[in-house]
Structure 1
Amino acid sequence: MGSANAPVGVGIIGAGNISDQYLTNLTSFPDVRVLAIGDLLEDRAAVQAAKYGVPRSGGVDLVLNDPDIDIVVNLTIPAVHVEVSEAIIAAGKHVWTEKPIGIDREESRRLLEKADAAGLRVGVAPDTVLGPGVQTAKRAIARGDIGRPLFAQTTFQWQGPEIFHPNPAFLYAKGGGPLLDMGPYYVSALVHVFGPVASVAALGLQGTPTRRVQVGELTGQEFPVEVPSTLSVLMDFEQGGQAQSLYSTDSPLLRQGIVEITGTEGTLVIPDPNTFGGAITITRPLGEMVIPPAPIVQEVLDVPQEGVLAGRGLGLLDMARSIRDGRPHVATGRFGYHVLDTLLSIEEAAAARSFVTVESTIDEVGSLAADFDPLAATL
């Protein structure tokens, strides 16, 4: 990498919808400097570079061949995540990739092996779970604020991304659907709390075999639904604990961001894992029997959120600082692989209508310190 006293050089491959969120934050973090944006559509990369003051833009090779870039952010579609990440590793650069790490176990393992052989790091989104919301909740659980965690309930349901995304077909193709698109947020949060997943069971269905684009230039265009659009999931964790989850893009009723962790001494409500912060509460058990029609009043405690609220790019920043400090980063490639393995096991469980063992595991999941400040200049 460059000088230990200088910001870390960052490049971005993929100038689509999500690049705005990354660029907004990465261009505000003093410890990194975005130097180039590459895309197959070079005009699109140029627009984003001009918008955010990035000095260079062009094709993918422009980013890969830039000697001042240490970490490349892979914002391509899931189907080519591994292909692009391998090219980044071959160019001698660290990878931060959008979720999931890949859509296939074998190719994702191969990517991690190549990175290890090259002495390079892989970091995997979502880094929303590194925000003050989930991290504060995680510390509360570690303190014993709800006793021993027993089970979790999570819900993500709505009518689907075609009502806002101008080209949503890939979100219903292999590697997409509500499970592979949104599941990484919820599964990552649960693994942060309960540790690695041991086995899963699931039921799945398709609400309709095709969908239509509803916004943008492709409005009215029909595309196939290749994966389940609704899944009901059970998860069993290695260290104890269970979870029940719903993922659906077939529901007119919008209900998202629900993560509830129940322990022996209370239920902890965690903020939406697709955001970086939010309200955190603990509901205590009733102290006495309440007989209707008397109102049931439960003790609900607010848990103060700890940390500086940021946005996408937080995990990359932690990786950049960790490389310079010679310590592990939190959102590792192996964490991302275990999440992918869990999600693919859920797909397989839905197809077989039975429990499926999750073959991978991980060591203890790291955390960000409560005083982690993305806006501080530390490098």
Structure 2
Amino acid sequence: MGGAVIGVGIVGLGVISEQYLATLLSAPIVRIVAVADLDAERARSAAERIPGCRALTTGELVAAADVDVVLNLTIPAAHADVALAAISQGKAVYGEKPLAATFAEAAEVMDAANAAGVRLGAAPDTVLGTGLQTARAAIDHGLIGRPTSAAATWVSAGHEAWHPHPGFYYREGGGPLLDMGPYYVTALVQLLGPVEAVSGAASRSRDERVIGSGPRSGESIRVDVDTHLTGILHHASGAISTVTMSFDGVRSTASPIEVHGVEGSLDVPDPNLFDGEVRLHPREGEWRVLEPSAGYADSGRGIGLIDFSTGEGRADGAMALHVLEIMSALSASARSGVREIVSTTVHVPSLVPLTSARDWRAGRTAVPGAGRPPGAA
């Protein structure tokens, strides 16, 4: 897929689509040729803002000859249906997280893509930015010695405070684990490798939430999923990490991710963002900030699709499937009280060399090893 300009068709034009458009419209390597949405007027309005783009139905879009990749930005409950429709037309698919609302559906999508010989990619792509990739480079270069453990924490009062239509966050495929967990669990897999087994505990503070903004402000919505989950991840490397994902708190002072090794510790920035400070505390010394040494600089949502389109595919379906199984197993363990074995595994993709925005917009990646070593100014 690398080399030529890639025709992209977008299905789903909700809130997140604006962030994708900001990235993709700045990159000549991709061209948005079609958009589709359940709201036909919203699709027409979006198409009018994009040169050479047309508004289609989903069926028309996945069958269009000039669409090389279907970008699936629908709600989680529709991820599998849209992906399977695109795959049936021989299209590559890159989708928002999670890969599907359930692990069974995600496995079906993966099997269909493999059988059809088409590529499958999925968010989150935040892990390809300079924040997480610089932390990964520090670990790969031995700055903390052998990694032994990590902790990932995300706590909020829930998305209904700001999102005008938050119902899907509280249905199957939502909740803090499936909504925010992909960023943190993907980051942990990138840093410590695949997971073999998990143990989880979960709770739900209430069965209704109240929308706090927009035209439905004051309306109650039902809660069908657990809204607080804590879990333990056993990595194949021998490292152990813990995760806490919650819609039942207000604020937390915990670092988004901490990684500890026998020779030092890393303070890793929020994996929901693309950059941020990486801090290292070696066994002898004090905390110090590491200069960015890897990752796509000044990137945003959609960089994973650009990486995918150039042939790299670091945010691929196999990673998304493994992460979804980890999260599904955590939920199952929370219900049963039994440690769950994770059946899938994944090859951790290669480190992203430090790549400028000018280069990645043109589909160029820096030569591996050409960037700064971790910690160098």
Structure 1 length-normalised TM: 0.91
Q: Report the secondary structure of 2:238's partner residue.
A: coil
Does the residue aligned with 1:374 lie in a helix, a strand or coil?
Answer: helix
Residue 319 in structure 1 maps to residue 317 in structure 2: no
In structure 2, distance between residues paired with 1:103 and 1:163: 23
CA distance in 1, matches of 2:334, 2:363: 47
Deviation of residue 53 (structure 1)? 3.9
CA deviations 1:36-94 (Å, max 9, x no partner) are: 11111111112222334452113212321321110010001111111110001112210
Q: Is the 8 A contact 2:77 2:101 kept in 1?
A: yes
Moved over 6 A (4+): none
Q: Distance in 1 between matches of 2:307 and 2:41?
A: 31
Distance 1:304 1:150 in 2: 24
Match of 1:300 among 277, 281, 287: 287
Q: How do 1:178-197 and structure 2 match up within 5 A?
A: 178-197=176-195
CA distance in 1, matches of 2:203, 2:190: 28
In structure 1, distance between residues paired with 2:269 and 2:328? 25
Deviations 1:340-368 (A, max 9, x none): 00000000111112311111112343332
Q: Distance in 1 between matches of 2:363 and 2:282?
A: 41
Can you list the C-alpha shifts for 1:262-308, whole angstroms capped at 9, x where unaligned? 111111111110011111110133x5xxxxxxxxxx61121111342
**Alpha-carbon separation, structure 2, partners of 1:47 and 1:95:** 24
* CA–CA separation in structure 1 for the residues paired with 2:29 and 2:38: 28
Q: Are 2:334 and 1:374 equivalent residues in the alignment?
A: no
Alignment pair present for 1:73 and 2:71: yes
Q: Which residue of 2 aligns with 1:14?
A: 12
> 1:196-211 residue pairs with structure 2 within 5 A?
196-211=194-209
Q: Which amino acid aligns with 1:300?
A: W
Which residue of structure 1 aligns with residue 321 of structure 2?
Answer: 337
Report % sequence identity.
38
**Is the contact between residue 31 and residue 376 of structure 1 (CA under 8 Å) also seen in structure 2?**
yes
Tell me which residue corresponds to 1:120.
Answer: 118
Mapped partners of 2:263, 2:291: distance in 1: 19
**Aligned ranges for residues 257-276 of structure 1 at < 5 Å?**
258-276=256-274
Is the contact between residue 127 and residue 271 of structure 2 (CA under 8 Å) also seen in structure 1? Answer: yes
Bigger mean CA deviation after superposition, 108-117 or 251-260? 251-260
Aligned to 1:101: 99
More displaced 10-residue stretch of structure 1: 358-367 or 133-142: 358-367
Partner of 1:213: 211
Flag the 1:5–1:342 CA change in 2: closer, same or farther, 3 A: closer
Q: Which residue among 212, 230, 237 is the counterpart of 1:232?
A: 230
Once residues 168 and 307 of structure 2 are traced to their aligned partners in structure 1, the CA distance between those partners, rounded to angstroms, is 29
Hey, what's the Cα distance between the residues in 2 that align with 1:224 and 1:256?
A: 29
SS of equivalent to 1:235: strand
- Tell me, in whole angstroms, the C-alpha distance in 1 between the residues paired with 2:331 and 2:198: 10
1:214 is matched by which residue type in structure 2?
G
Which 10-residue stretch deviates more, 10-19 or 349-358? 349-358
**Quick one: which amino acid aligns to residue 310 of structure 1?**
S
What is the CA–CA distance in structure 2 between the aligned matches of 1:250 and 1:225, rounded to whole Å?
12
Residues 1:5 and 1:349: Cα distance change in structure 2 (over 3 Å): closer
Shift of 1:150: 0.8
| CA offset digits 1:152-193 (Å, max 9, x no partner) | 011100101001111101101111100000000000000001
Asked if the contact 1:23–1:52 (Cα under 8 Å) also holds between the matched residues in 2, the reply is: no
Distance in structure 2 (CA, Å) of the matches to 1:92 and 1:313? 21
The answer as to whether partners of 1:71 and 1:95 remain within 8 angstroms in 2 is yes
C-alpha deviation, 1:30, in angstroms = 1.6
Counterpart contact for 2:80–2:109, Cα < 8 Å: yes
Could you state the TM-score of these two structures normalised by the residue count of structure 2?
0.91
- Residue 369 of structure 2 aligns with which residue? none
CA-based RMSD of the aligned residues comes to 1.8
CA contact (8 A) 2:63 2:86 kept: no
1:377 shift after superposition: 4.9
Count of aligned pairs between the two proteins: 361
User: Tell me, what secondary structure is at the counterpart of 2:310?
Assistant: helix
The alpha-carbon deviation at position 339 of structure 1 amounts to 0.3
Contact 1:155–1:257 (Cα < 8 Å) also in 2: yes
1:24·1:52 contact (CA, 8 Å) conserved in 2? Answer: no
Post-superposition shift, 1:201?
Answer: 1.0
Distance (Å, rounded) in 2 between the aligned partners of 1:35 and 1:254: 42
CA separation of 1:50/1:255 partners in 2, compared to 1, >3 Å: closer, same or farther? farther
Question: What is the rounded CA distance, in whole Å, between the counterparts of 1:274 and 1:26 in structure 2?
Answer: 19
Structure 2, gaps ≥5 residues long: 366-377
Q: Is the 8 A contact 2:32 2:50 kept in 1?
A: no
Among candidates 161, 164, 169, match of residue 167 of structure 2: 169
- In 2: Cα distance, 1:116 partner to 1:359 partner: 18
Q: Quick one: distance in 2 between partners of 1:268 and 1:377?
A: 31
Residue of structure 1 in register with 2:55 after alignment: 57
